[in-house]
Structure formats: C-alpha cells, structure tokens
Amino acid sequence: MVNILQRRILNVTNIIFPDYPQLYVGWNIDIKNLMASEENSQPSQSLKAFFVIMERLVKEHDLEFESMEQWAYDYLEEIRNFVLPYIRFTDEENAPYAPKSNNREVINSMLNQSFAESGSALLFHKLRDTISKNEFDIATAIPTARISEKALEATAQVRAENDYLKIKSNAAIEQWKNLTSQAITSMDDLTADIFDIVSILWMQQATHKDQMIHFHTDDALNLRRLQGRNEDPDGYQTSYRKKERDDIMKRLAALSTIWIRIERENLRFINEDQGNFEEIGQVQFNPLFLVDSVTVAYRGDNPIGIYECSIRPGELLANFLYGSQKSSGLLALKTLEYHPTKQRYHKRLSRYLSWQWRIRQKSADYLRAYYIGGEKGLLKVMDLDVNPRYGSRIKEQFEEILDTLQHDGIIKGWSYKDKGIEQQIEQERNWFATTWLKARVQIIPPTDISGLVDDRNLLLMESADHDTVNLSTMLKGMTESEAAVTIEMNEKKQVTPETINKERADRGLSILEAAKEMGISHSTLSRYERNLIKRPYTGSLEKMKEWLHGK
C-alpha cells in the first residue's frame, strides 16, 4: 500500500509542477527507495530541495505537514522558485547535444561566457593534475607516473615515439623524435591548460569518438585571452608574439607524447548499438591524444613545436569525453587566463573545485567543508608549501588565492567553517600546525554551478537535517500526529536563524533593536539570520535563547 505521506507529496507535485511530468515518476521511485532503505540510495537534488522548502514553510508559517495539499498552492511560486534550478540542471544534463561547426565558432561563443563544459572523470582530473605538477619519475628509462586513487590505478608515460602518427620518411621520423625528446621538461600548468583546451574544443565539435578536429596554436592563445597584434572581423586574435606561440607549440608537442594504461579497474562502458554494458579490464598503453596532419614550426634547423594539427582524444580518454558514458562538468574559463607560473595555485584550485562540484551535484552538498591541511587538504591540492616557519605568509597567500577566485567569479564566496578560528589563532603560539592546518573552509560555488541565486538556499540544502538517512526516517516514521509534535518541539526548543528572524518580525523589531535587547552586536545578529554563522559563540547562542523564550 502506498504510504499516505508519499501520496500527498506526489499529489502536490502534480499541483505545483504540472509542466514537469517526469518529476512524478522520478520522485515516486526516489521515495520508494528511501522508504525501503535501499542501499546507496540517493534522492534526486530536486526531491531534496522540495523537502527543504516544504519544511521551511511549515516552520515559518505554522503549517501542518500532513495538510500540504491544502496550503501548497498558496506558496506555489515560492516552492517552484526554490526547486526549479535543480530540475533545470537535470534537464540540461539530459539535453540533446548540438556540436559547433568549427573552432572559431566555439571560441567566440566561449569568450562570451564564464564556464565551459570540460572533462570531470576521475582519470581525467588525475591526469591533468599529474601533468600540471610534473609528477613523472625521470629516473626510469621512460618517464612514468603512477596514478592511484580509490578504485582507479593507472600508469602514464612520456614517450617520444608515436606509432599512430602517419610519418613516412626517416627524416620526418627523426625530426619528430627530436621535437618530443624534451617533452618531459614541458609538463607544467600551461600544458594542463592545453589539455583542457583541446578536450573542450573536441567535446564541442565531435559527432563520433574517432573524429579529428583541427587545432591551431592561435586557438589556445585566444582562449587564454592573450592580445594578438591583429584582430579579425569576428574578434579572433592573430599575429601573436614569438614567445607566446612557442610556449603553446612546445606544450602541444609535449601533450602528444603522453600514453596511459589502466592497471586495475574494470571500465564499464555502454554499447550504444546493443544497449548493454561492456566490461574492459586491463588495457594496453594508449596515447592520450592522437595527432595527424602535423605542421611543425622550425627556427633554423631546430623544431620548436606543433604549429597546427588534426587531433582527437585516444580511445581510453574519448570514452570519458563523449557519448552516454561521458563524465563532464563546468570549468571556469578564467582558469585558462591565470599566469601559468605566477598564478599556478589559482589554476590548480580552480580545476579541483570544478571536479569536486561535479561530484557533489547529485546530493547538492556543495558547502561540505574542505580541509586546509593533510593529504586530502587544499594545500596539497595546490602543492603549496606547508613549512611552519612561514606560517603567516602561507595563511595570507591561501586567503589571497580564495579572495582572487571570488573576485573573478570562480567562487561566490568562502569562509572558515570554525568561526572562532581567528581568535583562537591569536591566542596560540603554535597555531599554524595545531589549529590552522586542521581547520576547514566552506566555499560557495557560483550560480552557474549551483543554479541558486540565493546563498541561503544553499545553506539550507547543506543542513544535516536533510541528509538521506533523515529523509528516509521522516518518510517511514512520520505519522500525522508525530509530524505536528516534531514541528512544535522544533519551534519551541531550537534557536535557528529562521526562528530568531520570525520572532523579531513578530515583535516588530529591527536588527539593531533586537540585538540591543539580546546584548550582542547587531552585525553578529545580522550575519546569523542570514545563515553566515553556522556555529555562533556559546555566549551569543545563550543570549539569543534567553531572548527567544523570554518574550
């Protein structure tokens, strides 16, 4: 028998979202899985958002959860506006793909936007990270890097030969070997940029996995927004300076020398023709990119790099960048503009966040805090020095990087998870190792990523009260009487931004007046009501509690 609460939720779905019939089907499955405690069951973002907004309305307007069918229509716009961004994100993911016709069309389009679709599979991210930090071991006969993360174990190598390249003359083969023999010295953050750029351009244009696209050095320079000496009528820059071109040509040549192999993981790809799954175990070394029709630039008799070529991802990489098994996210294009040496930490953190946000999108836990230090911390991600002798300088540099990302729109904001950390640091002698490296930061993604204009909605979605376990418990155990009791208890006992805001509004007090009555600063009260303080000081919390129940 269908649970009464479940039926009511689905009835409300039809009332509020008649133009999204797929929600009824999807939410019905989600709710059944939650009620059955299905292992690894994760509700859709849209259903989670629905629970969050409905619970907020219940608390703010003294409504009864079991009567939602009666009052939902009165708050139709508010519910729709809160949930729609999550529905639309899913629609965009499943939208039919419309490839662009050429690089210029893609590039001119991208120069008018802030984010672009890029690879976000674990293998893609780890390879890019390996390239940016040049983690290849040059002590071996062939420079090699081991990639080991969770279930993924892979090997990447830098090889001068390219059996896939159609070079016929011995002279041409020798020239190619000379060009690529020093590739290992060109593995850096600029090469990681070229990795992203080629992948982005290919994803925009490819209509099948084996399709080559044309790539010109100027394409990368345009996407990095470097100024050429000439500008075509469509805005495309040309006639770049020698060093700018040389830098790109060397990196493109270096990228063409990387080979990869999966060591331990059965890759599962969908066979589109037969509609079933294909398991691929350990594979032989595969070129990261295949190049053909190469034009090599020379200075005298010395090859400088690849001026232009036809290029596509190798068989292994293409599986992650094309088709139904594609794993992609949004990369901030500002990442490509940052200086590859002076702002390499900015680049690395931006790439990492792009990858993390793609992972976190399903459960919408964008505000789960990141550790600063440790093996999984942000300093490690950026490969930023952690020498305690320079603690103040490192802390200042770390904060400056986050401030820059915020200024450039890559993130919407950031803050320390533990709000008293600055005071704690001031009182400690060995603060860098004992406190700051163990601290965490919350990073708010931009609206392009979360789909939410109001940060308070993100903060609500982050609340532990709305995780999968609690949603399941609520659906299975909340009888009509229990729902009313739970709401009443929460209203009476909990000090929350919502209850403080509602009580202040009921008393007709301004922020300044209410703060004065409580005995706390008006800035503290203002930030707390806006959900900017997740853990207020105990003293402030007690004062708010006394005020809330003191009348």
Whether the per-residue pLDDT at 273 is higher than 60: the answer is no
Name the residue among 129, 180, 47 with its Cα closest to residue 353: 129
SS3 label, residue 444: strand
Is domain 489-549 in CATH 3.90.180.10, yes or no? no
User: Which is more confidently placed, 12 or 342?
Assistant: 342
Distances (CA, A) of 143 to 157, 180, 187: 6, 13, 11
Name the pLDDT band for 275 (thresholds 50, 70, 90). very low
Q: What is the per-residue DSSP string for 175-217?
A: HHHHHHTTGGGG-SHHHHHHHHHHHHHHHHH-SSTT--EEEEH
Q: What is the pLDDT of residue 145?
A: 94
The predicted model gives 413-433 an average pLDDT of 88
Lookup result for tokens 């599986």: 319
Name the pLDDT band for 479 (thresholds 50, 70, 90). very low
The predicted model gives 125-136 an average pLDDT of 95
d(CA 313, CA 286): 10
Whether the per-residue pLDDT at 472 is higher than 70: the answer is no
d(CA 450, CA 466): 17
The predicted model gives 31-49 an average pLDDT of 70
CB 474 within 8 A of CB 66: no
Lowest mean pLDDT among 148-157, 240-249, 467-476: 467-476
Name the residue among 98, 105, 189 with its Cα closest to residue 383: 189
Q: How many CA atoms lie within 13 A of 455 on its CB side?
A: 16
Q: What single DSSP character describes residue 61?
A: T
Q: What is the pLDDT of residue 442?
A: 92
235-264 burial: b if 16+ Cβ within 10 Å, else e: ebbeebeeebbbbbbbbbbbbbbbbbebee
User: Strand 440-444 to strand 413-416: parallel, antiparallel, or no bridges (unpaired)?
Assistant: antiparallel
Instruction: Return the C-alpha torsion angle 422, 427, 431, 434, nearest 10.
Output: -100
CB 545 within 8 A of CB 494: no
User: Strand 302-313 to strand 328-332: parallel, antiparallel, or no bridges (unpaired)?
Assistant: unpaired
* Amino acid (1-letter code) at residue 130: T
Whether the per-residue pLDDT at 454 is higher than 80: the answer is no
Name the pLDDT band for 109 (thresholds 50, 70, 90). confident
Q: What is the pLDDT of residue 303?
A: 80
User: Which is more confidently placed, 392 or 281?
Assistant: 392
* pTM of the entire predicted model: 0.67
**Long-range pairs for 18-27: beta carbons < 8 A, 24 or more residues apart:** 20/87, 23/87
The domain ranges of the chain are 1-86, 110-264+283-324, 353-452, 489-549
Residue-wise pLDDT tens digits, 68-88: 888 888 888 888 888 887 775
Phi, psi (rounded to 5 degrees) for 438: -95, -5
Name the pLDDT band for 170 (thresholds 50, 70, 90). low
CB 126 within 8 A of CB 152: yes
The predicted model gives 200-204 an average pLDDT of 93
The predicted model gives 302-306 an average pLDDT of 83
